Amino acid sequence: YDWIFTKGIKGLITQFGGANSHMAIRCSELGIPAAIGCGEKKFDDIKNARSIELDCSLNTIKIVN
């Protein structure tokens, strides 16, 4: 899935995974904010949102519809 990093993404949110997952490591290497493994409920809410705010320093994901 490394091709996704060629698309100019501003952040990455995944339903599954953890701190040692490949995507988490790649995001860290590239300085891309990420929420890896946020769970089914949160991920479903996020994927249906028009706009979100991902703040890694506060560990928050805010839906900004």
Task: Give me the residues paired with residue 61 across strands.
Answer: 54
Tell me whether residue 22 is one of the annotated catalytic residues.
yes
Per-residue model confidence (pLDDT) at position 45: 92
| Mean pLDDT confidence for 13-37 | 96
Whether 8 shows a pLDDT value over 90: the answer reads yes
Per-residue model confidence (pLDDT) at position 61: 95
The torsion angles phi and psi of 52, rounded to 5 degrees, stand at -135, 160
What are the tens digits of pLDDT across the range 31-65? 999 999 999 999 999 998 999 999 999 999 999 97
Catalytic residue among 19, 22, 53, 60: 22
Per-residue model confidence (pLDDT) at position 12: 96
Q: What is the pTM of this model?
A: 0.87
Find tokens 């891309």 and name the residue.
32
